[in-house]
Amino acid sequence: MYQYTDFDRRFIRARAAQYRDQLERHLAGSLGDEEFKPLRLQNGWYIQRHAPMLRVAIPYGALASRQLRALADIAEEHDRGYGHFTTRQNLQYNWIALSDSADVMDRLAAVDMHGIQTSGNCVRNISSDVFAGIAPDEIVDPRPFCEILRQWSTLHPEFAYLPRKFKIAVSGAREDRVAAGWYDIGLQALSDDDGQIGFRVQVGGGMGRTPMIGAVIRDFLPWPQLLLYVEAILRVYNSYGRRDNIWKARIKMLVKAEGARFTEAVEREFADILQRDLGGDAHLITLHEFNRVASQFAPPHGVRLDAPDAAAAPAALAGGPAHEPAYLRWLQRNVHPHRVPGLRAVTLSLKRAGQAPGDATAPQMRAAADLADRYSHGELRVSHEQNLVLPWVSAAALHALWQDARETGFATPNIGLLTDMIACPGGDFCSLANARSIPIAAAITERYTDLDELFDIGDIDLNISGCINSCGHHHSGHIGILGVDKDGAEWYQITVGGADGSELGGAALPGKIIGPSFAAEEVPDVVEALIALYLRQRQPGERFVAFARRVGAPPFKAAADAVRRATAMAQDPAQHPAQHPQAAVPPLTAPEAEATAVGGRPLSPERPPGRLAEPSPVGGQTNWGDPAFR
C-alpha cells in the first residue's frame, strides 16, 4: 500500500493543528457556527441526528493493520465502541463529542490518517477496486492514478467550493468493480490495439432523487492526459453547474441538460489548458512521475508480482479437508483469485446477525488487524460492499485463516449472497434520513439464516437506503429498498433489476419501482415474496438479476402486493399522487455538507441555472440568454 513520505506526514499534522486552532476559537465563541461550519465539514465533521459524525478517509480503501488498531482505540475511547465502513471505502463514527474532535484528528494524523475532504462541496475521497494491484484481470494498477488525483485535488483552491460534492472512481481492471457509471467521474482503464494504456471517461453518473448513468465523453484518453482532462471537467462544472438549487446542482444535471455541448466544452477547456494556460502541460503525467508514485505501492516484502506459475497453489486448495462443508463454502464465497500464483484475496464478512451491515466493534477491528498481520502482511482493504479484504493471503494458509476467522466471527460464507447486503446508517443516526435502514436489514438477515437456502438463491445484491440521497445505493441493487416518509411514518419503496456495472448484473442500471411503498413490517415479507417468485420461475442457471430483466416488473409487483397488510393501496401512484409517499414535497433544508454559499461564496442568482454560456470578455457584459455553446 502507499507509503507516506515526510511531506505527507507534515501536511496532515499541520492540517490537524490548524483544525485544533479553529475548534478552540469556535468553543471560545470567537468563531461562530456558520463560520466554523465549512471548516469542520472539509475535515470530515458533520452534525447528525444525535451527535457529531466523523468520516475518516481511507484512500481507495487501503488500510494498514496499525491504522485499524488506531481506529479501534478511537472507537473505544471517544465513541461508543464501534465504527461503520461505508460504500465509498471510508469509516464513520457517530458519537464523538465535538470537544474531542481535535484530539481525534491528532490521533489519526499519528497513523497517517485524516478526514480531509470527506465532506463539503469538493473532490471527495477517490474510490477504486478493492482488488487493485492484485486482480488477475487487471490492465493497470489504478492506485498510482488514484494517489496522483488525491494529492492534486487535496485543498485545491480552484475546486474547494464546487456547486456540489464531487466523487471520482478509478478502475484498472476489465471488470467494473467500482460502479464507475454511478460516479461524477468514472474512469475505466483500457488497452488499445497497440497495447497503449488509457481510460474510458464517464461523467454525470449519480443516484439520489434523479438516478443517472454517466455519459461516455471520451472513449480512450491516453493516461498521461488524465489529470488535465479531469481538471477540464471540473472547470466546466465549476463555471456552469447550478448554485441556485441544491437538488439540481450535481454535475449529472448539467450533463443531462447540455448533452453534447458539455463534451464540447470539456474538450475546448482541455485544449486551452494545454495550449493557452501558462505551464498547463506541466501537469501531464510523465512516466517518471508515474513510476515515482507507483514505487510507493511496492508489494509486501517477499512477494513477487512476476512470480512464475506455481503448481502448489491449486494443490493447497485441493488439500483442504473435504469433509468440512463449511470450509468448502467459505472457499467458494469468500476466497478470490489473485494475480500472483500461490496467493489469494480473502473477504472478512462484516455481515452478521445482531450487527448493522458494515459495522465493526473495537475488538472486531483489532481481531481483523491481527488476521492481517498473521496472514496478509499487515494490509487490509475496505470494499464497496462494506466488508474487509485481506489481499496477500498464501493459498497454503487458507484453512488456518478460516479457522481463526471463524473464532472471531469473520468467516460467514455469504459474500455476494442475500445477507451480504449494503445499508446506510439510516434514521437511527442520519439527520437526512426519512426511515431507518438497520432494523430492515436485521429483519431480513434473521429471516435468511439457513445457508443452504442462501446458496440455493445464489448471487444477489440487496441494497438499503434510508432516504433519497441513496447512501445505501438502493438504485443499483438487484433488490433495492428506499426509506420514505409518509405522514411521519416509515415506509419503504421497492425496486428490482438495478445493477452497479459489474459482470454479475451487466451494465449499470437503476432498478424499476414495483408499486406504492410498503409499511416497515411488510418489507421482509415482500423480499421473501420476490425471492419465492424467482425460485419458482427461474430457468436452470439463471441468476436473480437476469430473471428480473427477463420477466420485468409486473410479476414482482403482483407478488409484492399479495403480501400487503397495512394497506390495500394498489392504484397507480401517478393517478393518486397525494396518497403516495414519493409525492411528498422535498425538504427545504439542504443537506449540511452541500450548503450553498459555503464559506460566503455568492450564489450568482442573476445567472439562469444550467446554461453553459461562454464567459464574457473582461469588462464585458454577460448575456445569459445566449446559446450555451457555439
Reduced 3-state DSSP string for 211-276: CECCEEEEEEEEHHHHHHHHHHHHHHHHHHCCCCCHHHCCHHHHHHHHCHHHHHHHHHHHHHHHHC
Residue of 570, 536, 549 whose CA lies nearest to 499: 549
Q: Please give the pLDDT value at position 88.
A: 93
Check: CB of residue 440 under 8 Å from CB of residue 359. Answer: no
Lowest mean pLDDT across 86-90, 211-215, 323-327, 612-616 = 612-616
d(C-alpha 154, C-alpha 122), whole Å = 9
Q: pLDDT tier at 308 (50, 70, 90 boundaries)?
A: low
Model confidence, pTM: 0.89
Lowest mean pLDDT across 239-253, 277-291, 419-433, 604-618 = 604-618
pLDDT for 615 beyond 90: no
Asked if domains 134-292 and 422-583 share a fold, the reply is yes
What b/e string do you get for 272-302 counting C-beta neighbours within 10 Å, with b at 16 or more? ebeeeeeebeebbbeeeebeebbeebebeee
Read off φ and ψ for residue 492, nearest 5 degrees. Answer: -140, 125
Average pLDDT for the chain: 89
pLDDT digits (tens, 9 = 90+) for 311-358: 445 545 545 565 799 999 999 999 999 999 999 999 999 999 999 999
pLDDT for 561 beyond 50: yes
Please say whether the dihedral angle defined by the alpha carbons of residues 299, 137, 338 and 407, taken in this order, is positive or negative: positive
Question: Which of 255-269, 300-314, 556-570 reaches the highest mean pLDDT?
Answer: 255-269
Q: Please give the pLDDT value at position 309.
A: 53
Give the H or E element holding residue 524.
helix 523-537
d(C-alpha 412, C-alpha 349), whole Å = 6
Read off φ and ψ for residue 283, nearest 5 degrees. Answer: -95, 10
C-alpha cell at 542: 439463471
pLDDT digits (tens, 9 = 90+) for 38-76: 999 999 999 988 889 999 999 999 999 999 999 999 999
Q: How many CB atoms lie within 10 A of CB 496?
A: 27
Q: How many CB atoms lie within 10 A of CB 48?
A: 18
Give the H or E element holding residue 557.
helix 553-561
| DSSP class of 614 | P
* Alpha helices by DSSP H, 136-213: 143-153
Q: Please give the pLDDT value at position 320.
A: 57
d(C-alpha 98, C-alpha 344), whole Å = 42
Q: pLDDT tier at 366 (50, 70, 90 boundaries)?
A: very high
Amino acid found at 157: P
C-alpha cell at 628: 450555451
Tell me the mean pLDDT in the region 563-587.
48
Q: Give me the residue spans of the domains in the chain.
A: 134-292, 422-583
pLDDT digits (tens, 9 = 90+) for 167-189: 999 999 999 999 999 999 999 99
pLDDT for 588 beyond 50: no
Candidates 3.40.920.10, 3.30.413.10, 3.30.1540.10, 3.40.630.40; CATH matching 422-583: 3.30.413.10
Check: CB of residue 91 under 8 Å from CB of residue 104. Answer: no
Beta-bridge mates of residue 197:
191
Tell me the mean pLDDT in the region 103-118.
98
What CATH architecture is 134-292?
A: 2-Layer Sandwich (3.30)
What b/e string do you get for 596-605 counting C-beta neighbours within 10 Å, with b at 16 or more? bebbeeeeee
Q: CA 364 → CA 86, 420, 429, 512, distances in Å?
A: 16, 18, 21, 37
Map residue 484 onto helix, strand or coil.
strand
Q: Please give the pLDDT value at position 579.
A: 39
d(C-alpha 464, C-alpha 422), whole Å = 6
pLDDT for 574 beyond 70: no
Read off φ and ψ for residue 250, nearest 5 degrees. Answer: -70, 155
Read off φ and ψ for residue 490, nearest 5 degrees. Answer: -85, 125
The C-alpha torsion from 379 through 384 and 387 to 391, rounded to 10°, is -30
Check: CB of residue 379 under 8 Å from CB of residue 62. Answer: yes
Decide: residue 310, CB within 10 A, 0-12 exposed, 13-18 middle, 19+ buried. Answer: middle
∠ Cα 113 594 37 (to 5°):
65
Cell 446458496 sits on residue? 455
pLDDT for 571 beyond 70: no
Tell me which of 143 and 319 has the higher pLDDT: 143
Check: CB of residue 110 under 8 Å from CB of residue 70. Answer: yes
